[in-house]
Amino acid sequence: MDVFGSFALILAFVCAVYAFVGGIVAIITRHPLLIKSARQAGIAVCALIFTATLSLVYLFFTDNYSVAYVVSHSNRDLSTFFKVAALWSGQEGSLLFWSFLLAIYVISVLLTYRNKNGELMPYVGVILAGVQLFFLTISNFVASPFKALGVANAAGGFDLVARADGNGLNPVLQYPEMVIHPPNLYSGYTGFTIPFAFALAALLARYPGEKWIHLTRKWTMIAWCFQTMGILLGAHWAYAVLGWGGYWGWDPVENASLLPWLTGTAFLHSVMMQEKRGMMKVWNVWLVFVTFMLCILGTLLTRSGVVSSVHAFAQSSIGNWFVGFLCIVMGVCLAAYFKNKDYLKSENQLDSLASRESSFLFNNLVLLVACVAVLSGTLFPVFSEWFTGSRISVGAPFFNKVNIPLGLLLMFLTGVGPLLAWRKTSTDSMKRNFRGPVSAALVGCVLLFIFGVREMFSLICFTLCIFVAATIVQEFYRGARVVKVRSGASWLASCVDLTLRNTRRYGGYIVHLGMVMIFIGLAGQAFNKEVEKELPIGSTINIGKYELLLQSMDRKQEKNYVADRMIVEVMKDKKPVMMLYPERRNFPTNQESGTMVAIYSTLKEDLYLVYAGMNPQTNLPTVHAFINPLVKWVWWGGMVVVMGTIVALVPNRAAVVVLARTEVPSGARELSGMRPAQVTLREGHD
């Protein structure tokens, strides 16, 4: 099966070469059969990548320890569930997995639009084939997951060998979330290839109309949704497994995942200016280009060892390939832009500073500054080594200090944007729109202060969250009131009806509401408490309102590990609340250990217990307890963000009435210009 997989991979490479070169020739010659064959080759590439990936999964399932990658990342006792996760746990497998996810996107695009956008699709096919070609080059010639296990022989060659068992999977990856976090994150990274392909194709083809920008936006939203889920699942995994009490450490790999998310978010806002007013075309195209390039840069950072990270894969020369690819992509984007920049001329002017357009401009400014600040902070150790000869570390406190004010500014703009009208907002309208949210925010701020919230950034954050939430409620209220008057339905039904009639707008507000919840959770970090104590059996420690009693310890023998557990009774006001079982897992195969945190989670706070281990000097178990306020808001907020994005992706339920020009008698034309009697229906895009 390893030969089969390897063969499928090399065949995929050959087909990708044909799809790429044949596609370019097809664009030049405009030969219909050649265009069709290049597209078919693109579909074949995807099918062959699926075959290769399934072959590798089969090798894991059948414990084939003659393949080096399987030996390094699996063992016989590893559960079937985690054997799937082993596919992406190492450099070679994760790159094949990358190609696999990209192939899902590519085949979806090629099949969905096979009879549509005839002028655009050949370009899209060539760009996608080019990206696939790069990853297939890596998987075939640089980091093949099908490399056979071999030992050097006396003749200077290699003898193929097979091992009885493998080295096992990294223990920190043996958690259910690790089976869903990387696929989500990679789906985000790879998904940004599609909007990149549409934007570049439209620029190269000078594709007329606005269709391409709608397609780009839709695919960006899909990728953005996966990226959001991936980031949050990764944060939750770090929180529930690593046992340090937090969920975001500003590690270079975490930062790498945030960068395209930030530019993608900026694009999803600024694209509205292009759709509505024909503005920001150059900016939007470059945002899509940069988002894709940041995905590649993130991969480069993760895999090259340029920056040190606890997440990073083994150091290798693979980074040079990514640098080369990044240079090619940049070169192509610059050439396409300078050749066709007149195609991106703006159609409108800015009418007023007090407008939705200017709020989007500032929103983009803040998101881009945050992105560049995180990127330069991540790369600063490398810069400092170049300039001074020694590395200067840039850790979490730096990123917090830089990004907290930017985050608050962004939250402020999230509230302001929906209250401003397109083109120009009159003073009266501003007063009417701002009165409610500002009043709610001020009252909330005073109440929070009275009830003891004295941390400045947290207080500002909570106040802004109230402001944004009030803005959203006001928007729903105003829209639903109109629906309710017309239909006589209940408030809830009116809200649902309103949302389904304009999914993009109200889905966007739901996303904003999710972000408010996430910011509430982030602001809660200022009130964290922690205590660490050696705890003899039968003794207690106190943290916050909780009293923790260590009742006993036990040991569980599982198939792939041994777990030592603390059995802790949680009491509040002397009354038992629940039992918690923090544990340490020891994996004999690779002689490593990991923690399994026990969490009692409420909307108000998390009681977070870590069994740190036995103190070798005293032979007493040590417990590390944390009170982390409002953490649950982050996870629930994430779910609301995803839900809002899905709502925004759903087409509007009701068609939008569009006035159509009709032929009218010449005399009447002078009076009316158009007659609203005859109408056409079209589906609104937002």
Partner 1 sequence: MNSATRPRNRRSIWLRFSIGLLLGLLALMPPGAMRLLADQSDRTHQLGSKLKCMCNGCDQAAGKCYHVGGAYSGPCDTAKTMLKEIDTHIAAGMNDQQVLNAMIQQYGPLAYVEPPKTGFGLVAWLMPISYLLAGLALVILVMKRWRKRPVAVPAMPGAGGVQVSPEMLARARQQAQRETEE
**Residue 543's beta-bridge partner residues?**
546
CB of 193 to partner 1, least distance (A): 27
**Residue 575's beta-bridge partner residues?**
572
CB of 348 to partner 1, least distance (A): 8
**The pair of three-digit structure tokens given for residue 2, joined into one six-digit string:** 């390893």
For partner 1, the closer of residues 120 and 371 by Cβ is 371
CB of 342 to partner 1, least distance (A): 15
Task: Give just the sign of the alpha carbon dihedral 239, 172, 225, 372.
Answer: positive
For partner 1, the closer of residues 330 and 350 by Cβ is 350
CB of 393 to partner 1, least distance (A): 5
CB of 665 to partner 1, least distance (A): 13
Strand 540-543 to 529-534 pairing: unpaired
For partner 1, the closer of residues 10 and 273 by Cβ is 273
Distances (CA, A) of 75 to 96, 517, 589: 20, 41, 8
**The pair of three-digit structure tokens given for residue 156, joined into one six-digit string:** 């200077």
**The pair of three-digit structure tokens given for residue 323, joined into one six-digit string:** 């640098």
List, as one string, the DSSP characters of 184-198.
HHHHHHHHTHHHHHH
From first CA to last CA, the distance across the chain in angstroms is 49
CB of 403 to partner 1, least distance (A): 9
> Rounded to whole angstroms, how far apart are CA atoms 192 and 194?
5
For partner 1, the closer of residues 46 and 233 by Cβ is 233
Number of H helices, E strands in the chain: 20, 14
Q: What angle do CA 157, 162, 164 make, to 5 degrees?
A: 150
CB of 357 to partner 1, least distance (A): 9
Strand 575-580 to 583-587 pairing: unpaired
- Is residue 516 within 8 A of residue 468, CB to CB? The reply is yes
Angle between helix 211-237 and helix 252-277 axes, rounded to 10 deg: 150
For partner 1, the closer of residues 46 and 598 by Cβ is 598
CB of 218 to partner 1, least distance (A): 17
Question: 207-212: long-range contacts (C-beta < 8 A, 24 or more apart)?
Answer: 207/117, 207/119, 207/120, 210/274, 210/275, 211/117, 211/120, 212/117, 212/120
For partner 1, the closer of residues 25 and 354 by Cβ is 354
For partner 1, the closer of residues 159 and 210 by Cβ is 210
